[in-house]
Each structure stands twice: as structure tokens, then as C-alpha cells.
Amino acid sequence: MILTVTLNTALDITYRVGALRPHASHRVSAVAERPGGKGVNVARVLAALGHQATVTGFAGGATGRAVRELLAGTAGVVDALLPVAGATRRTIAVVDERTGDTTQLNEPGPQIAPAEWGAFLDHYEELLPDASAVALCGSLPPGVPVGAYAGLIKAARSAGVPVLLDTSGEPLRRGVAARPDLVKPNTDELAELTGSHDPSRATQDARRRGARTVVASLGPQGLLALTPEGRWHAVPPGREHGNPTGAGDSAVAGLLSGLVEQLPWPDRLTRSVALSAATVRAPAAGEFDRAAYEKLLGQVAVTGGTTAA
């Protein structure tokens, strides 16, 4: 199984409105609720690709119960969340149907007590022996140490389990120093980490800081991968219009599934870009348009090769 860690799980709520206008009342045309947080989205996409995924992290309060009830109905996803006293956060996405733009509102998450964090560390180490890969995803809730991901990376490496890190800010900086197998920042996160706004230079810097492989999300320009085997750039056939929430998580699912299946890097990147683009066409995060995905697989352009990285 593939283990996804979402320390700051969420109930994702998506509202669709005809047109979003500041300082105005809006009539909502549709509402969708999904179990959320980056790693939960990753797990749902992995399950749709035929992989068994286990989700761990924290869940608490009425919102946490709603997340777990929704997860129980998701085929291929195993709930290994730990209960906490605080309430799981909500994230609100408001989709403007006229423009396709999405406005996102993210709550901070519950306060995690030291004893709850200690219980999670024990739980995580119990799950590692059965994992073929681990994804550490998203923000840290209040109370979790800023170096949490670095410790989780070291534990996975000690267990011989490849680990992917997808976070930002100081947790990313400390996590990279723990030498994860793969990091997947976007351009802003990569620039914050390295100080460079040139993705080519920034990916090299991120590797020097400790990451074995860096796959940078360039938005509509696809993915740039710097690996020990070489450098590749994968680009979708055109810009997608829709809800981009979860597109990066689908890319992570593509990378993880390709790692477990031992696909060549061009095939991993093709899958990731196609999944990301197909997610923009879907109504909610953690889902993708299957027909669009299968069509896009033949349209993603990959350049680069196995020269020294």
C-alpha cells in the first residue's frame, strides 16, 4: 500500500456561483463536500488508479467525523487517522462559473497537544513496514513541531521506504535537509526555498540542499524534473479552464504511482501532467475527468533525457 500523511486534514467544501462579486450576496448553484487535505486528495486519486492507499494524520470534532464518514465510502482508501480533541478544519472553494476562477479560504486546523503528536509518531512507525512509498503532504496544524516532516522523512528512510515531500515554507526547508527521495514544490515554494526565481537554477539548488529528485510544478507550463538520471520537462497540450484545486495533489499521485510501478521518468511525468490537467476539469479536489485523462496521456509533450543531472 501507499501511505499518505495529512497532518492537517480538512473537510473540503466547494461552492459554485454564477459570478463572484466582492461586497455582494451570492446564490450558490451547487455545493460539494469531500474529505480533504493534500494527502487525502492524493490517496483518492491513487485509489482511482488502482492502488491501495492508506490515509493517516489527525481528525477531530464534528468536522473530523464528517471527513471519516466520507472516507469510509471511498473504495481503495483505508482510514488510519488518529482522533484528537480539536476540530478538523474546513476549506472553502468558491468557483466563479463565469470565469472559471476559484477563490480559496483555508482554516488553520486544530491545536495538536504534545501527547497527541507523540501518539502519531508511534502510529506512523507502525504503518511504515507495510508501505511501498510514503507521501508527506500539506501544512502543519498548530502545535506540531516545524521540523515534523524532517523527522518523518528520517523514519521512512530508516525503514527503507521511499518518501515524497509536498509542503512549503520552513517545513519544506527542514524537510529537504533530511534528504527525501522526492520533493514537489510549485514555483513560489521553490523560490522561497532557494531564493531563485529561475526554475532550472532553483531545482539544482534544491537538490544540493538534500532532495534526491526535485519535480517543480510550473502551472500551465507543466512539470520540470531534475533527477539523478537526468532532466525532463513535461508540458500539457494547452491551458485548462476549471477548478485547479487539487491539481498538484493529482500530480503527486501520478509521481507516487509511477515510482511504485517503476515507470521510466518520462512516463511518470506524462501521467502526472495528464492527471493534473484532468483534475482541473473535475468538479472537486481529489477527482479527475477519466476521459480527459486518457486523452491527455497521448498529448503531453516531454523533452529532456538521461544526461547527467
* DSSP secondary structure string for all residues of 202-253: HHHHHHHTT-SEEEEE-GGG-EEEEETTEEEEEE-SS---S--TTHHHHHHH
User: Could you tell me which residues come within 8 angstroms of residue 204 by beta carbon, excluding any fewer than 6 positions away?
Assistant: 226
Q: Are strands 53-59 and 77-79 parallel, antiparallel or unpaired?
A: parallel
Q: Is the pLDDT of residue 163 over 70?
A: yes
Give the pLDDT score at 308: 45
User: What is each CA distance from 256 to 82, 99, 150, in whole angstroms?
Assistant: 23, 32, 19
Considering only CA atoms, give the Rg of the chain. 18
Active site residue 249: yes
Q: Is the pLDDT of residue 177 over 70?
A: yes
Can you tell me the mean pLDDT for 111-118?
A: 98
Q: Please tell me which residue in 79, 166, 181, 249 is annotated as part of the active site.
A: 249
Give the pLDDT score at 245: 74
What does the block give as the cell for 74?
471511498
Give the pLDDT score at 48: 93
CA distance 309 to 295: 31
Confidence of residue 14 (pLDDT cuts 50, 70, 90): confident
CA distance 264 to 208: 23
Instruction: Find how far residue 115's CA is from the centre of its chain.
Output: 27
Give the pLDDT score at 210: 95
User: What is each CA distance from 26 to 20, 99, 150, 196, 213, in whole angstroms?
Assistant: 7, 15, 43, 41, 45
Nearest to 117 by CA among 96, 147, 90: 147
| 59, containing H or E segment | strand 53-59
Give the pLDDT score at 309: 43
CB 214 within 8 A of CB 183: yes
The 10s digit of each residue's pLDDT in 44-92 is 999 999 999 999 999 999 999 999 999 998 999 999 999 999 999 999 9
CA distance 151 to 140: 13
Q: Between helices 199-208 and 187-194, what is the axis angle to 10°?
A: 60
Q: Is the pLDDT of residue 98 over 50?
A: yes
Across the strands, what pairs with 28? 17
Burial of 118 (0-12, 13-18, 19+ CB in 10 A): exposed
Give the pLDDT score at 286: 65
Among the residue ranges 30-44, 86-100, 148-162, 279-293, the one predicted with the least confidence is 279-293
Q: Is the pLDDT of residue 273 over 50?
A: yes
CA distance 274 to 261: 17
